[in-house]
Amino acid sequence: MGIVPTNIAIKKAEEAGYDLVEVSPNAKPPVCKLMDFGKFQYEQSKKLHSMKQHQRTGQVKELKFRPHINEHDLDIKIHYVERFLEEGNKAKVALVFRGREMVRYEVGAELLKKMIAALGPKAIVESPPKLEGSNMTMVLAPANAPTRPAGKDEEEPSEVAE
């Protein structure tokens, strides 16, 4: 429309049933646009909601066990950690010592080292095993990003018959 005085622009917006929205207030002269502002806000909120929905946030999953654990039970715990890492989550492994077990904390350290060796290239040790009170904890992160299956928003190209 070009440069139009404010009162005329407001009248044109009312006649068309739209709102006069200032797009760039710092420009000389300020730039305004005729639009349905309520509809614009609704579309922006939908766009923001859609972006939040598709955003992947990793969680920290915790796994606890004791130093006197059976070999098979340790394998199951390792399997749980693998599953957490494959989902793209971090895994916090906590080894809980009770009573006289605190005297032999190196047994727990060996268990955590065994777990790291069993996970191999699937995990990165984010924080190494450290003793905090009666717990020995370490945090593992996935070595690579999780592979997501094709979702609804990703369309595969289809062949068109000529």
What CATH code is carried by the domain that includes residue 134? Answer: 3.30.110.10
Angstrom distance (rounded) from CA 20 to CA 13: 6
Determine, yes or no, domain membership for 27.
yes
Angstrom distance (rounded) from CA 43 to CA 129: 48
The mean-pLDDT minimum among 39-53, 112-126, 135-149 falls in 135-149
Give the pLDDT of residue 25. Answer: 85
**Helix (H) or strand (E) segment spanning residue 11:** helix 6-16
- Per-residue confidence band for 145, with pLDDT thresholds at 50, 70 and 90: low
Which of 56-60, 112-116, 158-162 tops mean pLDDT? Answer: 112-116
Question: Residue 36 is which amino acid?
Answer: D
Is the pTM here over 0.85, yes or no? Answer: no
Quote the number of domains for the chain.
2
Q: Which residue range forms the structural domain that includes residue 31? A: 1-37
User: Region 93-101: what's the mean pLDDT?
Assistant: 91
Q: Are 32 and 81 contained in the same domain? A: no
Determine, yes or no, domain membership for 104.
yes
CB atoms inside a 10 Å sphere around CB 96? 15
Comparison of pLDDT for 81 and 54, the residue scoring more: 81
Distances (CA, A) of 65 to 74, 91, 137, 159: 9, 13, 11, 54
